[in-house]
Structures are given as structure tokens and as C-alpha cells.
Structure 1
Amino acid sequence: MLFNFSRFPIAKQHSLIVVCIALLAILAHFLTANSQDYLVYQRELISQGQLWRLLSGHFLHTNGYHLLLNLAALTMLWALHGHFYNLKNYTSIFIGTALFCSLALYQFNPNLIQYVGLSGVLHGIFVWGAILDISHKEKTGYLLFIGVCLKIAYEQLYGASAEVMSLINADVAVDAHLWGAVGGLLFSLIYLSYSKKKPVTQQK
């Protein structure tokens, strides 16, 4: 089963950071257009030294539908893997994946001038959760990991659905999904390696 209600992630350490990210995205959506222009991932302005855009752009969305889709995905991932979350590891995976995704887009996708949205980061968090499932001997982790890989492969070959593009009133940056997933995979390997090396303290 995907959900184990006995460990449903309602505790503060599992949910607080997710709520904070959701609130930041909602707040960013209601900023004035001028304020949003100061935060969006914009390639030319990043090249001029406005590096905060590598992170802040992920909190902005093209319209309300785009925001709601990403908030729904954020919530789904919390329900699915929130029992793994704490303030330290979730903050690390979120910021690490966001920066990796933005830097990869900047380096390898020069034609992408502007980007907004949480979806790239969410793909990385999805991968991280699936890898942790696998490391905990949960068979659903393999299904989730294969599923997200197939989704990304399909998008790379055929692009995103026209319905989604119409809904969010913008092209879907499928390469952001790819780089977000790669960032999540790299972070997962580092995280698991660190966890194995961390000494276990005995409690008396």
C-alpha cells in the first residue's frame, strides 16, 4: 500500500516546512507584477548577477491554475513520503534541487529565457521519496521511481500535454522536470551515503 495511516505525516516536524513553502508560493502569487518581475528566473538578469532568481523563481506561477496544480502535487508528495521529512532534510532537498535545476537550465538550456514554478523541484522531491522507499525495502518505491522516469522520458520525446499548457497559459518547461529529477537523484545518493556514515548514538 502507498499510504500507511499509522504513520500519516501530521506531526509538526513532517508538515511545517511543507506548509511554509506552500504559503510562500501563495504569497508570491499575490505580489504585484513589478515585485514578481524582481523574482522570476530570467536568464539575462541572472547573467548580470541577480543570482537570487535561481531560487526565487520557483515560487512564482503563471496563473492560479498553475499554482493550484503545484500545491496539489506538493500535498500529494507530503502525504506519500512526509514520514521521511524533517526541517533539515526537506530544506536541503528543496534548496539543493531548486538550485541544481536552475543552474542546469542556465547551462544546458540557453533558449529558455524565463521560468517559473515548483514542478522541477517537485520532481526532485518525488525521486528522493521513491529512493528512500527503496532504501527502506518498500516495493512501491520501485514503481514510483520507474513511473517518474517513464513520465520524464515521455515528456522529452513528445512534450507536455496540450491540455496542461492551455490550463497554465504557458509552455511546460519539461527540461525543468528532467533537471529537477536528476538533482533529486544526486541528492538522494548523497543523503543515503551521509546517513550510512553517520554514527549511531546509544541512548541510555
Structure 2
Amino acid sequence: MRNYLARSVWIGIGLISVIVFGAGVSATEHLRFDRVAIEAGEWWRLLSAHFVHLSSGHLFLNLAALALAAYVTSPSASLRLQLLAWGWLCLVTGVGLFIFADDLYYYVGLSGALHGAMLVAIAPSPYYSPKVRLIVVLVIVVKVIWEQTGFYDDMANSEMVGGRTEARSHMFGAIAGLVWIAVSQSWKYYERRKSLEN
């Protein structure tokens, strides 16, 4: 049986998203990514925006993706590292949108950070072979690259989610995830080398 305690961070993120959605319009207005409000000093919106959703359909899609990423997460992953990873993914996505998407005034949703979270979850997962893990990582990366081209229709899911899909958030989330993987793998390699030398 898989260790469900290791997924408490993921469950918490899902619960926060459901609670914020249930709180209604007022919560959305105070927590969403709002460029003018952020420029006025409301920096928490860079993180809180990820827990706000446009509609029940939008929330359901993100919760389904969250559950999938949690499912492939290694039960040996420490809660502290998971919290750090989620903080990193949300922060990089929010800051990336703020700095590099200057035409974007409002943003809500977990999908940007989720693209990074799926990468962070699958890369070290003990449940799949290295080949399967590499294929999943490549599929996510190719998807994100495709979304940045003119072939992608950011309004394709508008009826379900209640608005336009902000594909740039997927890109920043994926970049954050890849950086996390690179740093964590480099650290593990360093620790192995150090233990062999001693």
C-alpha cells in the first residue's frame, strides 16, 4: 500500500483550492493575480493566485491533474521538500507571469504550477521505469512548447474552464519543474560522490 501521508501536501493544496472556490467572488478578487494590485505591493497574489479558479470545471480539471501527480509521487519524498517544491513552482510561475507577460493583468489557476509538479513527481518516481519517466517528461515538454506556437488555440477549453487558458503559465511552471529536477539530481550526485570519497 502506498504511503498516503506522503501525499498530505497534495491533499492540502486540493483542499485549499476547494475552500477558496467555495468562498466565492470576494476570495477571488483578493487572491487572484492582479497586476495593478501586485505593483501596489500585494505580492502574496503571486502565490495565492494558483489556488483560485474560474469555474467548477476549471477546479475539477486542476484537481484531477493534482490527483494524478500525487499518485505518481514517491512515498519516500519528504514533506519538507514537497512544500519547498510547491512554493518554488508557484513562485516561479507567478513571478514569471509578472515579469515576462506584461500584457497579462489577471490570472488564476493551478495548471501552471501543476505542469512543473508533474515533472517533479514523475522524474524520481520508483513506480515507473526510467524509459517511461523520460517519455512522460518529454511529452510534457513538447506539449508546453507546442502551446507557445500559433497552432495552439488558447480558447479551446474556454466553455469548460470559464475563460482563456494562459499557456505561458504552463511554460513557467515546466521551467521551474525542470530546474528543480536538475538541482535535486545534481545534489544527489554530489552527495553520492562525497560519500564514496569518505
Q: TM > 0.5 between the two?
A: yes
**1:168 equivalent in alignment to 2:188:** no
Amino acid in structure 2 at the alignment position of 1:182: I
Does the 8 A contact of 2:89 with 2:113 survive in 1? yes
Q: Secondary structure at the match of 1:50?
A: coil
Does the 8 A contact of 2:72 with 2:122 survive in 1? no
Amino acid in structure 2 at the alignment position of 1:61: H
| Structure 2 counterparts to residues 25-174 of structure 1, below 5 A | 25-83=17-75, 85-133=77-125, 138-157=130-149, 158-160=151-153, 162-174=155-167
Structure 1 residues 77-86 or 119-128, which shifts more?
A: 77-86
Q: How far did residue 36 of structure 1 move?
A: 2.1
TM-score, reference length from structure 1: 0.86
Q: 1:179 aligns with which of 161, 172, 175?
A: 172
Unaligned ranges ≥5, structure 2: none
Q: Secondary structure at the match of 2:23?
A: coil
| Structure 2 counterparts to residues 15-30 of structure 1, below 5 A | 15-30=7-22
Does the 8 A contact of 1:98 with 1:121 survive in 2? yes
Amino acid in structure 2 at the alignment position of 1:11: Y
Percent identity of paired positions between Structure 1 and Structure 2: 24
Amino acid in structure 2 at the alignment position of 1:183: A
TM-score, reference length from structure 2: 0.88
Does the 8 A contact of 1:127 with 1:185 survive in 2? yes
Amino acid in structure 2 at the alignment position of 1:175: R
Structure 1 residues 27-36 or 76-85, which shifts more?
A: 76-85
Amino acid in structure 2 at the alignment position of 1:185: L
Unaligned ranges ≥5, structure 1: 1-7
Q: How far did residue 196 of structure 1 move?
A: 3.4
CA RMSD of aligned residues (A): 2.2
Q: How far did residue 86 of structure 1 move?
A: 2.7
Distance 1:46 1:108, change over 3 A: same
Does the 8 A contact of 1:119 with 1:176 survive in 2? yes
Does the 8 A contact of 1:159 with 1:174 survive in 2? no
Does the 8 A contact of 1:41 with 1:116 survive in 2? yes
Structure 1 residues 52-61 or 123-132, which shifts more?
A: 123-132
Q: How far did residue 74 of structure 1 move?
A: 0.3
Q: How far did residue 151 of structure 1 move?
A: 0.8
Deviations 1:135-155 (A, max 9, x none): x96211110011001111221
